[in-house]
Structure 1
C-alpha cells in the first residue's frame, strides 16, 4: 500500500490557517477580514470550509465577539507559532547590496591567487563593499571539492595540474589565463632550451604533487629537468632564485609584479605549453548566492583589467 505523506495537510487548504489565526486574535470576523484584505462574506465562507475540514465549530458568536471552542483554543498557539515560523523562513532572500553588506565569505586560495589577485581586489572592495569580510584559507588540494560540497568554503580560486573532474553540484569557470615565463638571477643573459635543461630548477608544489604540468610536457618531448628544490610556498621562491643559479617557471603576471621587489630577470619559456589557468569554483546551491555571484563579477572585471594592462 502506498504511503501518503502528510494526509491531514493534503486535505486542508493551508490558506485557511491565517483566517483561523486572525479570527482568534481579533475575536471578530470584520476585523479579521480587514487585516487579511478580504470581504466579510469571503472570510465567513473560509471559516465554514475550515469548520467542515476540522469537524469542529471552532468559534461561537456571543454578542459582537467570536469566542473560540475548546478545540480552537488548543489549536491556536500551534497555528500562530507555525505561521510565524513559515513567514520568517519563506521570506524571499533580499537582493545583495554591496555597499551595506557585512557578510563573510570563506575563500580557498593558493599563494599565487593571494599574491596576484587580492591586493587589487581589496582596493576595489574598500570602496564598493567596505563591510564585506573575507577569510582566506589555503587550498589543501585543488579544486577543493570536499570543502565546497561540505559548505566549509564559499569560493575556491585555484588551478589544477591535470584536467579537472567536473562535479554536477559545482560551478567551474575559467577566471584568468597567463603564459609561463622563466625567472633567473640577473647574471643570465639568454635562455635556450639547452640552457633550460642544463640548469637546476626551483619548483612550487602547493599540494606536494609529484609532477607538475611543465614536467609532464617535457616528458612528452623526451626531456627531464633537474629539480634542486621543491617548496609549497611561492613567497620565498623568487628571492631564492635571485641569489642562486636556479630557474623558476612562473606566470608572467606574477613575475612582473616581483621584478621591483627582487633582483630577477624574466625570459620566455623555451618550449610550448598550454597557458596557466586560474579557475573559480563555487557550489550551485550555496546559501550565499547573492554575494558569491557579485564577487565573481568583480573578479571577472579585475581579470579584464589585468589583461588590458599586459
Structure 2
C-alpha cells in the first residue's frame, strides 16, 4: 500500500504544484523560496520517482506532459487538504499574511460579491491571495467537505436547510426582474404575463442538472416560457438582449448595474417568483480559524458599507 509514496519525498509535490501553475522553474523556485538549480534538481528527482518527464520545455515555458495533467488536480487537492488539516499556531496577521483562500463561484456570484471584498482586502491584506474556481454545483458541498475550497458563493431560494458540517453567511437578498431591449415594438411600459409568455427568452443555467427557479414558478401556474437561448452563465445575456427582441429574467441587482450602460428597459416579473439569498458557505472545521473568520468578517463589513452608500442607478 502507498508504494509510490514510500519512495517519494512528499516535499517534491510542492515543487510539482508550483511548476504546474507557473510553467516556469524560476517562478516556481521564487514562490518556494529556493534557488532555480535546487528546483531543477527537485524536478529531476520527481522524474526519476514517477518515471515520466512531467514537464517539457517548449519555448520559454515548461509544458506539462499528459501524466502531469492527470496528476495536477489530485496533487493540488491533496496539498490544500493537508494545509487545512495541519495546525498553524502562529496568529493571523492580515497586513503580512500570504495565505491563499480558494472560492468556488459562478460568474454572477463572483461579480456580486468579490469586487467589494477584494477592494477591502487590497487595503487591509495586501499580500493575501484569492483563487476563484468555477462552482460545479449551486452549493459546492463536495468541494467544501473535501477541503478543495475554503468558501463557496451560492444562491438559495426560500429557507434552505444546510447540510451537517456546513455553515453560511448571508451576503445579500434580492428579487428578479425582466429586461427587454429599449424600443422593443411589442413591449411598452407594462409587461403582462401573457406578453411575457408570448415572447422568446434567454435563460442562464450554469448546471445542466439544476432546475430554473423561474421555470419552476411558471410551472406552478401551469405555464411554460419559450427559451430560445440557453447560456451557461449570466454575463453575456444583457448584451444579447440589447441586440435582439429576446427577454431575460435576472437578479435586480445585476439589472441595475447595466441599465445605465445598455439600451434596455427593466420590468417587474409579471408573476410571483421567489426572492433569492446569496450566501458564502464554509465548512465548520474552519469556523474558529483566525484567517477564515477574518475573511468572513471583512465580507460582511464590505457589504454593509456598500448597502449604506446611495445608489445613482435608476430603472426606466
TM interval, short-chain normalised:
0.5 to 0.7
1:109 aligned onto 2:105? yes
Aligned counterparts, 1:1-310, within 5 A: 93-160=89-156, 164-188=160-184, 189-190=188-189, 191-209=191-209, 211-286=211-286, 289-308=289-308, 309=310
Q: Distance in 2 between matches of 1:126 and 1:132?
A: 8
Structure 2, unpaired ranges of 5+: 1-84, 312-316
Report the 3-state secondary structure (helix = DSSP H, G, I; strand = E; otherwise coil) of the residue aligned with 1:285: helix
Shift of 1:143: 0.8
> In the alignment, what sits opposite 2:14?
none
What is the number of equivalent residue pairs in this alignment? Answer: 222
Q: Distance in 2 between matches of 1:175 and 1:201?
A: 29
TM-score normalised over the length of structure 1: 0.66
Q: Deviations over 1:47-87 (max 9, x none)?
A: xxxxxxxxxxxxxxxxxxxxxxxxxxxxxxxxxxxxxxxxx
Q: Deviations over 1:187-208 (max 9, x none)?
A: 1433122221111110100112
Q: Distance in 2 between matches of 1:119 and 1:113?
A: 11
Q: Distance in 1 between matches of 2:242 and 2:227?
A: 16
Q: Distance in 1 between matches of 2:305 and 2:192?
A: 32
Change (3 A) 1:210 1:117: closer
Shift of 1:226: 1.1
Q: Which has the larger radius of gyration?
A: 1
TM-score normalised over the length of structure 2: 0.65
Q: Distance in 2 between matches of 1:163 and 1:206?
A: 22
Report the 3-state secondary structure (helix = DSSP H, G, I; strand = E; otherwise coil) of the residue aligned with 2:304: helix
CA RMSD of aligned residues (A): 2.4
Shift of 1:305: 3.2
Q: Distance in 2 between matches of 1:182 and 1:95?
A: 48
